[in-house]
Amino acid sequence: MENIDPLEALRWSVEMGADEAIGEQPVNRYAVSEPITASVPVSAKLSEPKVQSMERAPLAPSQGIADSLAAAAAASNLEELRNAIAAFEGCALKQTATNLVFADGNPEADVMILGEAPGAEEDRRGVPFVGASGQLMDRMLAAIGLDRTTAYISNILFWRPPGNRNPTTAEVAACMPFVQRHIALVRPRVLVFVGGASAKAMLDRKEGIMRLRGKWYEYGGQGLPEPIPALATFHPAYLLRSPGQKRAAWHDLLLLRSRLDELR
Ligand code: URA
């Protein structure tokens, strides 16, 4: 058998999303510990369910949403909102994340950018968009004269999904009241939704980012006196994988720049 370079194998695992150690010892999941019998008696199948040894079992999704709605509504400023999110137990992602990732940049800025979810670096530092895609985001902003003093940046999820997997509908729904309250408290003049997950969730649309990007929408979420113009565009992580799309992203950035110029 061909020798496998352990470093290459590790690099491959990280690329596949297995970038966290979750136990002290490796587990051979191919080893069958007990013989599998086809005829398990019905009485055994229906026995008492085993109680999982979790410190805090996640709430049922609908309870999570009810809790986040109430907690979000009670927050009257950004600090209270951050504290309410930190105390929220209705999103299971919190249990595997290292840090809550709330926001970065200037909450007084004209533009608020919403990405999808923190990645590994964001999770480590508790700051959104500081990994490879964040660095590209900074360069994109700089190209139209913006930076983190003139933009405010957050995500539709406040905790990293394990292994950077896609967030589930239930996770997005549980966090949505906080995201809507976040927007209502910041009240930016322009919103930018980066990536399909953010654009679809915030605009309540089914189309993918290819169709949604490069156009202006009206975001009329909870708690706003009037809708806010919102632009959908590609996620920088996608642009890193598909640099051929940078031309389209540049078109979107120019749309944003001219909208901001009109506000002056
Ligand atoms: N991708 C996101 O959508 N958000 C981050 O904060 C980092 C990467």
Ligand 1 lined by 154 (C-beta under 6 Å): no
Q: What is the pLDDT along the chain (264 residues), one digit of tens a residue?
A: 456 777 766 665 555 445 555 545 565 545 544 443 333 333 333 333 333 434 455 556 677 788 899 999 999 999 999 999 999 999 999 999 999 999 999 999 999 999 999 999 999 999 999 999 999 999 999 999 999 999 999 999 999 999 999 999 999 999 999 999 999 999 999 999 999 999 999 999 999 999 999 999 999 988 999 999 999 999 999 999 999 999 999 999 999 999 999 998
CATH number at 239 reads: 3.40.470.10
The reply to whether 77 falls in a domain is yes
Range(s) of the domain holding residue 218: 61-262
Ligand 1 lined by 67 (C-beta under 6 Å): no
Q: Phi then psi for 45, rounded to 5 degrees?
A: -65, -35
- The count of domains in the chain is 1
The reply to whether 19 falls in a domain is no
Ligand 1 lined by 128 (C-beta under 6 Å): yes
Q: Which two tokens stand for residue 174?
A: 């549980």
Q: Phi then psi for 67, rounded to 5 degrees?
A: -65, -40
Contacts of 197 (CB under 8 A, 6+ apart): 116, 117, 156, 166, 167, 172
The reply to whether 246 falls in a domain is yes
Ligand 1 lined by 155 (C-beta under 6 Å): yes
Q: Compute, in angstroms, the gap from residue 132 CA to the centroid of ligand 1.
A: 9
Q: What is the dihedral of CA 141, 179, 85, 15, to 10 degrees?
A: -50
The reply to whether 52 falls in a domain is no
Sheet of strand 190-194: strand arrangement:
104-105, 151-155, 111-115, 190-194, 228-233, 216-219
The reply to whether 250 falls in a domain is yes
Q: Which two tokens stand for residue 195?
A: 């990536």
The reply to whether 93 falls in a domain is yes
- Closest ligand 1 atom to residue 116 Cα is 3
